[in-house]
Structure 1
Amino acid sequence: MRRDEFTEIRAFLEVAQERSFTRAASKLGVTRSALSHTVSALEERLGVRLLSRTTRDVAPTAAGARLVESIQPHFESIAAGISALGALRDKPSGLVRLVCPDDAAELVFRSRLPAFLRDYPDITVELIVDNGLTNIVERQFDAGVRLGESIARDMVAVRLGPDVSYAVVGSPEYFAGRAMPATPQDLTDHNCVNLRLPTSGALYAWEFEKDGREFSVRVEGQLVLSTMEPAINAARDGVGLSYVPKDLVRQYLDSGELHEVLADWTPTFQGYHLYYPSRRHPSSAFSAFVEAFRYRLR
Protein backbone atom coordinates (compact mmCIF):
# COMPACT_ATOMS: atom_id res chain seq x y z
CA MET A 1 0.00 0.00 0.00
CA ARG A 2 1.35 3.39 -0.97
CA ARG A 3 1.76 6.02 1.73
CA ASP A 4 -0.93 8.26 0.22
CA GLU A 5 -3.40 5.34 0.15
CA PHE A 6 -2.72 4.63 3.82
CA THR A 7 -3.26 8.30 4.66
CA GLU A 8 -6.55 8.39 2.72
CA ILE A 9 -7.94 5.30 4.42
CA ARG A 10 -6.93 6.49 7.88
CA ALA A 11 -8.60 9.84 7.18
CA PHE A 12 -11.78 8.10 6.05
CA LEU A 13 -11.89 5.88 9.15
CA GLU A 14 -11.55 8.85 11.49
CA VAL A 15 -14.37 10.76 9.78
CA ALA A 16 -16.60 7.66 9.74
CA GLN A 17 -15.98 7.13 13.44
CA GLU A 18 -16.39 10.73 14.56
CA ARG A 19 -19.29 11.47 12.17
CA SER A 20 -17.68 14.87 11.77
CA PHE A 21 -14.94 16.33 9.58
CA THR A 22 -14.21 18.95 12.23
CA ARG A 23 -13.67 16.48 15.09
CA ALA A 24 -11.72 14.06 12.88
CA ALA A 25 -9.48 16.87 11.64
CA SER A 26 -8.78 17.90 15.22
CA LYS A 27 -7.75 14.35 16.16
CA LEU A 28 -5.51 14.00 13.10
CA GLY A 29 -3.97 17.45 13.48
CA VAL A 30 -4.95 18.67 10.01
CA THR A 31 -7.33 21.29 8.68
CA ARG A 32 -10.92 20.42 7.88
CA SER A 33 -10.49 21.36 4.23
CA ALA A 34 -7.38 19.20 3.88
CA LEU A 35 -9.20 16.25 5.43
CA SER A 36 -12.20 16.70 3.13
CA HIS A 37 -9.85 16.80 0.12
CA THR A 38 -8.12 13.58 1.26
CA VAL A 39 -11.40 11.68 1.66
CA SER A 40 -12.68 12.98 -1.69
CA ALA A 41 -9.47 11.73 -3.33
CA LEU A 42 -10.10 8.25 -1.88
CA GLU A 43 -13.70 8.26 -3.14
CA GLU A 44 -12.56 9.37 -6.60
CA ARG A 45 -9.88 6.71 -6.75
CA LEU A 46 -12.29 3.95 -5.68
CA GLY A 47 -15.11 5.27 -7.87
CA VAL A 48 -17.71 5.05 -5.08
CA ARG A 49 -19.11 7.46 -2.50
CA LEU A 50 -18.08 6.43 1.01
CA LEU A 51 -19.64 9.21 3.10
CA SER A 52 -23.05 10.82 3.02
CA ARG A 53 -22.66 14.52 3.82
CA THR A 54 -25.37 16.88 5.02
CA THR A 55 -25.19 20.25 6.73
CA ARG A 56 -25.73 18.55 10.10
CA ASP A 57 -24.28 15.09 9.83
CA VAL A 58 -21.69 12.89 8.16
CA ALA A 59 -22.36 9.15 7.97
CA PRO A 60 -20.92 6.19 6.02
CA THR A 61 -22.85 5.07 2.96
CA ALA A 62 -23.53 1.35 2.51
CA ALA A 63 -20.19 1.08 0.68
CA GLY A 64 -18.48 3.13 3.38
CA ALA A 65 -19.88 0.98 6.19
CA ARG A 66 -18.69 -2.14 4.38
CA LEU A 67 -15.21 -0.68 4.03
CA VAL A 68 -15.10 0.25 7.73
CA GLU A 69 -16.14 -3.27 8.71
CA SER A 70 -13.50 -4.89 6.53
CA ILE A 71 -10.46 -2.71 7.29
CA GLN A 72 -11.03 -1.31 10.80
CA PRO A 73 -9.76 -4.47 12.58
CA HIS A 74 -6.55 -4.38 10.53
CA PHE A 75 -5.87 -0.76 11.46
CA GLU A 76 -6.51 -1.62 15.13
CA SER A 77 -3.96 -4.44 14.86
CA ILE A 78 -1.43 -2.07 13.32
CA ALA A 79 -1.98 0.44 16.13
CA ALA A 80 -1.67 -2.30 18.75
CA GLY A 81 1.54 -3.55 17.16
CA ILE A 82 3.07 -0.09 17.18
CA SER A 83 2.01 0.45 20.80
CA ALA A 84 3.49 -2.91 21.78
CA LEU A 85 6.92 -1.66 20.73
CA GLY A 86 6.82 0.39 23.93
CA ALA A 87 7.47 -2.86 25.78
CA LEU A 88 11.01 -2.76 24.40
CA ARG A 89 11.64 0.47 26.26
CA ASP A 90 12.81 0.61 29.86
CA LYS A 91 9.43 2.03 30.87
CA PRO A 92 5.94 1.65 29.37
CA SER A 93 4.91 4.53 27.15
CA GLY A 94 2.01 5.60 25.00
CA LEU A 95 -1.57 6.81 25.20
CA VAL A 96 -4.38 5.21 27.24
CA ARG A 97 -7.88 6.40 26.25
CA LEU A 98 -10.72 5.75 28.70
CA VAL A 99 -14.36 6.72 29.04
CA CYS A 100 -16.15 6.70 32.39
CA PRO A 101 -19.13 8.23 34.22
CA ASP A 102 -18.58 11.33 36.30
CA ASP A 103 -18.94 9.56 39.65
CA ALA A 104 -16.26 7.01 38.71
CA ALA A 105 -13.92 9.81 37.65
CA GLU A 106 -14.21 11.18 41.17
CA LEU A 107 -14.30 7.96 43.20
CA VAL A 108 -11.85 5.81 41.25
CA PHE A 109 -9.39 8.06 39.47
CA ARG A 110 -9.09 11.37 41.29
CA SER A 111 -7.10 10.06 44.24
CA ARG A 112 -5.02 7.50 42.32
CA LEU A 113 -4.20 9.13 38.99
CA PRO A 114 -1.54 11.57 40.29
CA ALA A 115 0.66 8.76 41.63
CA PHE A 116 0.24 6.74 38.43
CA LEU A 117 1.25 9.68 36.24
CA ARG A 118 4.28 10.34 38.43
CA ASP A 119 5.33 6.67 38.25
CA TYR A 120 4.88 6.49 34.47
CA PRO A 121 6.00 9.83 32.98
CA ASP A 122 5.94 8.41 29.43
CA ILE A 123 2.26 7.44 29.60
CA THR A 124 -0.51 9.90 28.70
CA VAL A 125 -4.02 9.20 30.02
CA GLU A 126 -7.01 10.65 28.18
CA LEU A 127 -10.05 10.34 30.44
CA ILE A 128 -13.36 11.25 28.82
CA VAL A 129 -16.30 11.72 31.19
CA ASP A 130 -19.52 10.46 29.60
CA ASN A 131 -22.53 9.08 31.46
CA GLY A 132 -23.94 7.38 28.37
CA LEU A 133 -23.43 3.75 27.39
CA THR A 134 -20.54 4.54 25.06
CA ASN A 135 -19.50 1.99 22.45
CA ILE A 136 -15.79 1.81 23.27
CA VAL A 137 -14.93 -0.19 20.13
CA GLU A 138 -16.67 2.22 17.77
CA ARG A 139 -15.20 5.27 19.55
CA GLN A 140 -11.73 3.66 19.70
CA PHE A 141 -11.33 3.82 23.47
CA ASP A 142 -8.92 1.39 25.09
CA ALA A 143 -11.46 0.70 27.82
CA GLY A 144 -14.53 1.98 29.62
CA VAL A 145 -15.69 2.04 33.22
CA ARG A 146 -19.10 0.89 34.47
CA LEU A 147 -20.65 -0.77 37.49
CA GLY A 148 -20.21 -4.52 37.30
CA GLU A 149 -23.88 -5.27 36.62
CA SER A 150 -23.92 -3.32 33.34
CA ILE A 151 -20.91 -4.86 31.58
CA ALA A 152 -21.54 -7.13 28.59
CA ARG A 153 -20.41 -10.73 29.01
CA ASP A 154 -18.13 -10.64 25.97
CA MET A 155 -15.93 -8.03 27.64
CA VAL A 156 -12.95 -8.53 29.92
CA ALA A 157 -13.81 -6.91 33.26
CA VAL A 158 -11.28 -5.79 35.88
CA ARG A 159 -12.58 -4.60 39.24
CA LEU A 160 -11.36 -1.13 40.17
CA GLY A 161 -12.86 -0.73 43.64
CA PRO A 162 -15.18 -2.11 46.33
CA ASP A 163 -18.93 -2.40 46.03
CA VAL A 164 -20.79 0.90 45.70
CA SER A 165 -23.63 1.89 48.01
CA TYR A 166 -26.18 4.55 47.11
CA ALA A 167 -27.94 6.95 49.46
CA VAL A 168 -31.00 9.20 49.40
CA VAL A 169 -29.91 12.50 50.92
CA GLY A 170 -31.34 15.90 51.76
CA SER A 171 -30.30 18.97 53.73
CA PRO A 172 -31.54 19.92 57.21
CA GLU A 173 -33.15 23.01 55.62
CA TYR A 174 -35.11 20.83 53.22
CA PHE A 175 -36.39 18.57 56.00
CA ALA A 176 -37.44 21.52 58.18
CA GLY A 177 -41.21 21.21 58.46
CA ARG A 178 -41.28 18.02 56.38
CA ALA A 179 -41.61 14.42 57.50
CA MET A 180 -38.71 12.24 56.43
CA PRO A 181 -39.76 9.40 54.10
CA ALA A 182 -40.10 6.08 55.92
CA THR A 183 -40.51 3.98 52.76
CA PRO A 184 -39.64 4.58 49.09
CA GLN A 185 -43.36 5.07 48.38
CA ASP A 186 -43.25 8.18 50.59
CA LEU A 187 -41.02 9.85 47.99
CA THR A 188 -44.17 10.87 46.12
CA ASP A 189 -44.59 13.57 48.80
CA HIS A 190 -41.09 14.95 48.23
CA ASN A 191 -39.30 17.15 45.72
CA CYS A 192 -36.72 14.79 44.19
CA VAL A 193 -33.83 15.68 41.91
CA ASN A 194 -34.10 13.56 38.76
CA LEU A 195 -31.24 12.32 36.60
CA ARG A 196 -31.65 12.21 32.82
CA LEU A 197 -30.04 9.16 31.20
CA PRO A 198 -28.11 10.36 28.14
CA THR A 199 -28.35 7.12 26.17
CA SER A 200 -32.10 6.46 26.41
CA GLY A 201 -33.23 9.98 27.29
CA ALA A 202 -35.40 8.57 30.08
CA LEU A 203 -35.34 9.63 33.73
CA TYR A 204 -33.46 7.29 36.02
CA ALA A 205 -35.77 5.31 38.31
CA TRP A 206 -34.35 5.13 41.84
CA GLU A 207 -33.46 1.55 42.77
CA PHE A 208 -34.30 -0.01 46.13
CA GLU A 209 -34.08 -3.39 47.83
CA LYS A 210 -35.77 -4.89 50.88
CA ASP A 211 -35.83 -8.48 52.15
CA GLY A 212 -34.38 -9.73 48.88
CA ARG A 213 -36.93 -7.89 46.73
CA GLU A 214 -35.61 -5.39 44.22
CA PHE A 215 -37.78 -2.63 42.79
CA SER A 216 -37.58 0.85 41.29
CA VAL A 217 -39.47 4.05 42.04
CA ARG A 218 -39.99 6.86 39.55
CA VAL A 219 -39.73 10.11 41.46
CA GLU A 220 -40.86 13.62 40.61
CA GLY A 221 -39.38 17.02 41.28
CA GLN A 222 -38.68 20.45 39.89
CA LEU A 223 -35.07 19.82 38.86
CA VAL A 224 -33.66 17.43 36.23
CA LEU A 225 -29.89 17.07 35.84
CA SER A 226 -27.47 14.88 33.90
CA THR A 227 -24.51 14.45 36.27
CA MET A 228 -23.88 13.63 39.91
CA GLU A 229 -22.05 16.67 41.25
CA PRO A 230 -24.89 19.13 40.49
CA ALA A 231 -27.32 16.65 42.06
CA ILE A 232 -25.24 16.61 45.24
CA ASN A 233 -25.06 20.40 45.28
CA ALA A 234 -28.81 20.63 44.75
CA ALA A 235 -29.36 18.48 47.84
CA ARG A 236 -26.89 20.60 49.81
CA ASP A 237 -28.72 23.74 48.67
CA GLY A 238 -32.04 22.44 49.96
CA VAL A 239 -33.64 21.97 46.53
CA GLY A 240 -34.77 18.42 47.28
CA LEU A 241 -33.69 14.83 47.74
CA SER A 242 -30.93 13.29 45.62
CA TYR A 243 -30.00 9.66 44.98
CA VAL A 244 -26.20 9.45 44.77
CA PRO A 245 -23.21 7.19 45.55
CA LYS A 246 -22.75 7.33 49.30
CA ASP A 247 -18.98 7.75 49.14
CA LEU A 248 -19.47 11.00 47.19
CA VAL A 249 -21.44 12.56 50.05
CA ARG A 250 -19.84 10.90 53.07
CA GLN A 251 -18.10 14.10 54.16
CA TYR A 252 -21.41 15.99 54.08
CA LEU A 253 -23.15 13.23 56.04
CA ASP A 254 -20.37 13.24 58.65
CA SER A 255 -20.57 17.04 59.00
CA GLY A 256 -24.36 17.07 59.21
CA GLU A 257 -24.71 19.17 56.06
CA LEU A 258 -26.76 16.32 54.58
CA HIS A 259 -29.00 13.70 56.17
CA GLU A 260 -29.48 10.20 54.79
CA VAL A 261 -32.95 8.63 54.62
CA LEU A 262 -34.21 5.18 53.57
CA ALA A 263 -30.84 3.66 54.51
CA ASP A 264 -32.48 0.25 55.05
CA TRP A 265 -33.86 0.30 51.51
CA THR A 266 -30.91 1.45 49.38
CA PRO A 267 -28.97 -1.31 47.59
CA THR A 268 -25.28 -2.01 47.13
CA PHE A 269 -24.01 -2.52 43.59
CA GLN A 270 -20.97 -4.32 42.25
CA GLY A 271 -18.07 -1.91 42.21
CA TYR A 272 -16.71 -0.02 39.22
CA HIS A 273 -14.99 -2.20 36.65
CA LEU A 274 -12.67 -1.45 33.77
CA TYR A 275 -13.90 -3.30 30.67
CA TYR A 276 -12.45 -3.88 27.21
CA PRO A 277 -12.85 -6.36 24.31
CA SER A 278 -11.36 -9.81 24.89
CA ARG A 279 -9.73 -9.72 21.45
CA ARG A 280 -7.82 -6.57 22.28
CA HIS A 281 -4.00 -6.74 22.23
CA PRO A 282 -2.98 -4.55 25.17
CA SER A 283 -0.12 -2.11 24.83
CA SER A 284 2.52 -1.84 27.52
CA ALA A 285 0.94 1.43 28.66
CA PHE A 286 -2.52 -0.12 28.96
CA SER A 287 -1.18 -3.19 30.79
CA ALA A 288 0.61 -0.93 33.28
CA PHE A 289 -2.58 1.06 33.78
CA VAL A 290 -4.68 -2.05 34.44
CA GLU A 291 -2.22 -3.39 36.99
CA ALA A 292 -1.97 -0.04 38.76
CA PHE A 293 -5.74 0.39 39.13
CA ARG A 294 -6.77 -3.22 39.68
CA TYR A 295 -8.63 -3.52 42.99
CA ARG A 296 -7.13 -6.09 45.33
CA LEU A 297 -8.93 -7.29 48.44
CA ARG A 298 -6.92 -6.62 51.55
Structure 2
Amino acid sequence: MTPTVAAAVLVAAVTHAGWNALAHRITDKLVGFTLIAGGGTLIGLATAPFVAFPAARAWPYLLGSAVIHIAYYALLMRSFRLGDFGQAYPIARGSAPLVVTVLAALFAHEVPDGWAAAGIALSCAGLTGVALWGLRGQRPDWAAIGAALATGMTIAAYTVVDGLGVRASGSATGYIAWLMAVEGLALPTYAVWRWRGDTVARLRPFAAVGLLGAALSVAAYGLVLWAQTRAELAPVAALRESSIIVGAIIGAVFFKERFGAPRIVAAGLLVVGIGLMLRAG
Protein backbone atom coordinates (compact mmCIF):
# COMPACT_ATOMS: atom_id res chain seq x y z
CA MET A 1 0.00 0.00 0.00
CA THR A 2 1.57 3.27 -1.12
CA PRO A 3 1.42 6.46 0.99
CA THR A 4 -1.05 7.95 -1.51
CA VAL A 5 -3.41 5.00 -1.19
CA ALA A 6 -3.08 4.99 2.60
CA ALA A 7 -3.82 8.72 2.75
CA ALA A 8 -6.91 8.27 0.56
CA VAL A 9 -8.25 5.53 2.83
CA LEU A 10 -7.60 7.61 5.96
CA VAL A 11 -9.55 10.52 4.45
CA ALA A 12 -12.31 8.03 3.66
CA ALA A 13 -12.30 6.88 7.30
CA VAL A 14 -12.86 10.43 8.58
CA THR A 15 -15.58 11.25 6.06
CA HIS A 16 -17.28 7.92 6.74
CA ALA A 17 -17.46 8.55 10.48
CA GLY A 18 -18.79 12.01 9.64
CA TRP A 19 -21.73 10.84 7.54
CA ASN A 20 -22.62 8.16 10.06
CA ALA A 21 -22.69 10.81 12.78
CA LEU A 22 -24.97 12.99 10.66
CA ALA A 23 -27.28 10.01 10.10
CA HIS A 24 -27.34 9.32 13.84
CA ARG A 25 -28.11 12.98 14.57
CA ILE A 26 -31.40 12.81 12.65
CA THR A 27 -33.86 11.30 15.14
CA ASP A 28 -36.09 9.69 12.51
CA LYS A 29 -33.66 7.19 11.00
CA LEU A 30 -35.80 6.55 7.94
CA VAL A 31 -35.74 10.29 7.16
CA GLY A 32 -31.97 10.44 7.57
CA PHE A 33 -31.15 7.40 5.50
CA THR A 34 -33.70 8.31 2.82
CA LEU A 35 -31.92 11.63 2.33
CA ILE A 36 -28.47 10.02 2.35
CA ALA A 37 -29.41 7.17 0.01
CA GLY A 38 -31.47 9.39 -2.27
CA GLY A 39 -28.77 12.04 -2.32
CA GLY A 40 -26.25 9.38 -3.30
CA THR A 41 -28.49 8.37 -6.19
CA LEU A 42 -28.68 11.97 -7.40
CA ILE A 43 -24.90 12.34 -7.19
CA GLY A 44 -24.40 9.06 -9.03
CA LEU A 45 -26.81 10.00 -11.83
CA ALA A 46 -25.24 13.45 -12.16
CA THR A 47 -21.75 11.93 -12.40
CA ALA A 48 -22.52 8.95 -14.65
CA PRO A 49 -22.57 10.84 -18.02
CA PHE A 50 -19.03 12.12 -17.42
CA VAL A 51 -17.29 8.86 -16.48
CA ALA A 52 -16.62 5.57 -18.23
CA PHE A 53 -19.43 3.01 -18.22
CA PRO A 54 -18.49 -0.08 -16.14
CA ALA A 55 -17.54 -3.17 -18.14
CA ALA A 56 -20.25 -5.82 -18.52
CA ARG A 57 -18.41 -8.31 -16.30
CA ALA A 58 -18.65 -5.84 -13.39
CA TRP A 59 -22.45 -5.57 -13.38
CA PRO A 60 -23.24 -8.79 -11.49
CA TYR A 61 -21.01 -7.52 -8.69
CA LEU A 62 -22.55 -4.05 -8.85
CA LEU A 63 -26.13 -5.31 -8.69
CA GLY A 64 -25.26 -7.80 -5.95
CA SER A 65 -23.63 -5.02 -3.95
CA ALA A 66 -26.74 -2.84 -4.36
CA VAL A 67 -28.86 -5.59 -2.79
CA ILE A 68 -26.39 -6.03 0.08
CA HIS A 69 -26.36 -2.27 0.66
CA ILE A 70 -30.14 -2.30 1.14
CA ALA A 71 -29.70 -4.81 3.96
CA TYR A 72 -26.82 -2.71 5.30
CA TYR A 73 -28.94 0.44 5.50
CA ALA A 74 -31.78 -1.42 7.22
CA LEU A 75 -29.46 -2.98 9.81
CA LEU A 76 -27.53 0.25 10.39
CA MET A 77 -30.78 2.13 11.04
CA ARG A 78 -31.79 -0.54 13.53
CA SER A 79 -28.43 -0.51 15.32
CA PHE A 80 -28.55 3.29 15.62
CA ARG A 81 -32.07 3.11 17.07
CA LEU A 82 -31.14 0.48 19.65
CA GLY A 83 -27.65 1.52 20.76
CA ASP A 84 -25.61 4.67 21.28
CA PHE A 85 -23.39 5.89 18.46
CA GLY A 86 -20.14 5.32 20.35
CA GLN A 87 -21.02 1.63 20.77
CA ALA A 88 -22.96 0.71 17.62
CA TYR A 89 -20.48 2.30 15.22
CA PRO A 90 -17.32 0.58 16.57
CA ILE A 91 -19.02 -2.82 16.69
CA ALA A 92 -20.33 -2.57 13.14
CA ARG A 93 -17.09 -1.25 11.70
CA GLY A 94 -14.74 -3.28 13.91
CA SER A 95 -16.26 -6.62 13.04
CA ALA A 96 -16.04 -6.07 9.28
CA PRO A 97 -12.25 -6.44 8.75
CA LEU A 98 -12.26 -9.80 10.47
CA VAL A 99 -14.78 -11.17 7.98
CA VAL A 100 -13.20 -9.37 5.00
CA THR A 101 -9.90 -11.12 5.76
CA VAL A 102 -11.60 -14.51 5.49
CA LEU A 103 -13.71 -13.64 2.44
CA ALA A 104 -10.74 -12.10 0.62
CA ALA A 105 -8.80 -15.32 1.15
CA LEU A 106 -11.70 -17.41 -0.20
CA PHE A 107 -12.79 -15.30 -3.16
CA ALA A 108 -9.83 -13.06 -4.05
CA HIS A 109 -7.07 -15.54 -3.10
CA GLU A 110 -5.46 -12.97 -0.80
CA VAL A 111 -4.33 -15.24 2.02
CA PRO A 112 -3.44 -13.58 5.37
CA ASP A 113 -0.16 -14.31 7.12
CA GLY A 114 0.68 -14.55 10.81
CA TRP A 115 0.42 -10.80 11.33
CA ALA A 116 -3.16 -10.83 10.07
CA ALA A 117 -4.04 -13.73 12.38
CA ALA A 118 -2.67 -11.79 15.36
CA GLY A 119 -4.60 -8.74 14.24
CA ILE A 120 -7.83 -10.73 14.07
CA ALA A 121 -7.34 -12.02 17.63
CA LEU A 122 -6.67 -8.54 19.05
CA SER A 123 -9.56 -7.03 17.12
CA CYS A 124 -11.92 -9.68 18.50
CA ALA A 125 -10.80 -8.81 22.03
CA GLY A 126 -11.29 -5.11 21.40
CA LEU A 127 -14.66 -5.70 19.79
CA THR A 128 -15.84 -7.62 22.85
CA GLY A 129 -14.70 -4.80 25.11
CA VAL A 130 -16.51 -2.12 23.09
CA ALA A 131 -19.66 -4.23 22.99
CA LEU A 132 -19.81 -4.96 26.72
CA TRP A 133 -18.36 -1.72 28.17
CA GLY A 134 -20.54 0.17 30.61
CA LEU A 135 -23.00 -2.61 31.46
CA ARG A 136 -22.25 -2.34 35.22
CA GLY A 137 -23.83 -5.67 36.03
CA GLN A 138 -26.74 -5.22 33.65
CA ARG A 139 -27.55 -7.83 31.06
CA PRO A 140 -26.10 -7.08 27.61
CA ASP A 141 -28.53 -5.54 25.13
CA TRP A 142 -28.16 -8.41 22.69
CA ALA A 143 -30.62 -6.84 20.26
CA ALA A 144 -28.41 -3.76 19.88
CA ILE A 145 -25.20 -5.78 19.77
CA GLY A 146 -26.69 -8.27 17.31
CA ALA A 147 -27.90 -5.51 14.98
CA ALA A 148 -24.45 -3.90 14.98
CA LEU A 149 -22.72 -7.24 14.34
CA ALA A 150 -25.14 -8.05 11.52
CA THR A 151 -24.35 -4.63 10.06
CA GLY A 152 -20.68 -5.58 10.16
CA MET A 153 -21.41 -8.74 8.20
CA THR A 154 -23.08 -6.75 5.43
CA ILE A 155 -20.15 -4.32 5.41
CA ALA A 156 -17.75 -7.23 4.92
CA ALA A 157 -19.92 -8.71 2.17
CA TYR A 158 -20.22 -5.56 0.08
CA THR A 159 -16.54 -4.71 0.65
CA VAL A 160 -15.43 -7.94 -1.00
CA VAL A 161 -18.12 -7.86 -3.72
CA ASP A 162 -17.25 -4.27 -4.62
CA GLY A 163 -13.53 -4.96 -4.43
CA LEU A 164 -13.92 -7.63 -7.08
CA GLY A 165 -16.43 -5.58 -9.05
CA VAL A 166 -14.43 -2.38 -9.23
CA ARG A 167 -11.38 -4.33 -10.42
CA ALA A 168 -13.48 -5.85 -13.20
CA SER A 169 -15.15 -2.57 -14.15
CA GLY A 170 -12.25 -0.84 -15.86
CA SER A 171 -13.26 2.44 -14.19
CA ALA A 172 -13.42 3.09 -10.46
CA THR A 173 -15.32 6.35 -10.99
CA GLY A 174 -17.79 4.69 -13.36
CA TYR A 175 -18.40 1.86 -10.91
CA ILE A 176 -19.02 4.14 -7.92
CA ALA A 177 -21.30 6.43 -9.95
CA TRP A 178 -23.54 3.60 -11.10
CA LEU A 179 -23.42 1.83 -7.75
CA MET A 180 -24.64 4.99 -6.01
CA ALA A 181 -27.32 5.49 -8.66
CA VAL A 182 -28.67 1.95 -8.29
CA GLU A 183 -28.30 1.22 -4.58
CA GLY A 184 -29.94 4.43 -3.42
CA LEU A 185 -33.27 3.85 -5.16
CA ALA A 186 -34.86 1.32 -2.82
CA LEU A 187 -34.95 3.31 0.41
CA PRO A 188 -36.49 6.53 -1.01
CA THR A 189 -39.02 4.41 -2.93
CA TYR A 190 -40.06 2.68 0.28
CA ALA A 191 -40.21 5.99 2.16
CA VAL A 192 -42.44 7.61 -0.48
CA TRP A 193 -44.77 4.58 -0.37
CA ARG A 194 -44.91 4.65 3.43
CA TRP A 195 -45.39 8.39 3.87
CA ARG A 196 -47.57 9.02 0.82
CA GLY A 197 -48.24 12.75 0.61
CA ASP A 198 -46.16 13.64 3.70
CA THR A 199 -42.80 12.86 2.11
CA VAL A 200 -41.66 16.43 1.39
CA ALA A 201 -42.83 17.71 4.77
CA ARG A 202 -40.88 14.98 6.57
CA LEU A 203 -37.69 15.45 4.58
CA ARG A 204 -37.52 19.24 4.32
CA PRO A 205 -36.32 20.06 7.89
CA PHE A 206 -33.34 17.72 7.55
CA ALA A 207 -32.57 18.13 3.86
CA ALA A 208 -29.32 20.08 4.28
CA VAL A 209 -27.89 17.70 6.88
CA GLY A 210 -29.00 14.62 4.94
CA LEU A 211 -27.60 15.78 1.62
CA LEU A 212 -24.30 16.71 3.26
CA GLY A 213 -24.24 13.17 4.62
CA ALA A 214 -24.88 11.86 1.10
CA ALA A 215 -21.93 13.80 -0.30
CA LEU A 216 -19.65 12.53 2.47
CA SER A 217 -20.90 8.97 1.94
CA VAL A 218 -20.17 9.03 -1.80
CA ALA A 219 -16.73 10.59 -1.26
CA ALA A 220 -15.82 8.09 1.45
CA TYR A 221 -16.77 5.00 -0.51
CA GLY A 222 -15.41 6.33 -3.78
CA LEU A 223 -11.97 6.71 -2.19
CA VAL A 224 -12.16 3.18 -0.78
CA LEU A 225 -13.15 1.67 -4.13
CA TRP A 226 -10.28 3.48 -5.84
CA ALA A 227 -7.90 2.17 -3.17
CA GLN A 228 -9.16 -1.39 -3.72
CA THR A 229 -7.91 -1.23 -7.31
CA ARG A 230 -4.39 -0.56 -6.02
CA ALA A 231 -4.07 -2.65 -2.85
CA GLU A 232 -5.37 -5.89 -1.36
CA LEU A 233 -8.87 -5.90 0.08
CA ALA A 234 -8.10 -6.83 3.70
CA PRO A 235 -5.54 -4.08 4.47
CA VAL A 236 -7.74 -1.45 2.79
CA ALA A 237 -10.74 -2.58 4.84
CA ALA A 238 -8.61 -2.65 7.99
CA LEU A 239 -7.19 0.85 7.53
CA ARG A 240 -10.63 2.23 6.69
CA GLU A 241 -11.85 1.07 10.08
CA SER A 242 -9.59 3.55 11.82
CA SER A 243 -12.85 5.47 11.55
CA ILE A 244 -13.73 3.60 14.76
CA ILE A 245 -11.64 6.07 16.75
CA VAL A 246 -13.13 9.04 14.90
CA GLY A 247 -16.62 7.69 15.57
CA ALA A 248 -15.91 7.18 19.27
CA ILE A 249 -14.58 10.73 19.58
CA ILE A 250 -17.64 12.10 17.77
CA GLY A 251 -19.89 10.13 20.11
CA ALA A 252 -18.13 11.58 23.17
CA VAL A 253 -17.85 15.20 21.96
CA PHE A 254 -21.11 15.77 20.07
CA PHE A 255 -23.52 13.22 21.55
CA LYS A 256 -22.17 13.45 25.12
CA GLU A 257 -21.68 9.69 25.31
CA ARG A 258 -19.20 8.57 27.95
CA PHE A 259 -15.98 7.22 26.52
CA GLY A 260 -14.24 5.99 29.67
CA ALA A 261 -10.97 4.15 30.27
CA PRO A 262 -12.35 0.65 29.49
CA ARG A 263 -13.57 1.79 26.09
CA ILE A 264 -10.23 3.52 25.42
CA VAL A 265 -8.44 0.22 26.08
CA ALA A 266 -10.93 -1.71 23.95
CA ALA A 267 -10.69 0.78 21.09
CA GLY A 268 -6.90 0.66 21.40
CA LEU A 269 -6.93 -3.13 20.98
CA LEU A 270 -9.07 -2.72 17.88
CA VAL A 271 -6.65 -0.21 16.41
CA VAL A 272 -3.60 -2.36 17.19
CA GLY A 273 -5.33 -5.36 15.63
CA ILE A 274 -6.19 -3.34 12.56
CA GLY A 275 -2.60 -2.14 12.40
CA LEU A 276 -1.35 -5.73 12.39
CA MET A 277 -3.75 -6.61 9.57
CA LEU A 278 -2.52 -3.55 7.70
CA ARG A 279 1.07 -4.72 8.17
CA ALA A 280 -0.01 -8.06 6.76
CA GLY A 281 -1.00 -6.27 3.57
What interval of TM-score do these two structures reach, taking the shorter chain for normalisation?
Answer: under 0.3
Higher percent of residues as strand: 1
Q: Normalising to structure 2: TM-score of the pair?
A: 0.21
Which has the higher relative contact order, 1 or 2, with Cα contacts under 8 A spaced 6 or more apart? 2
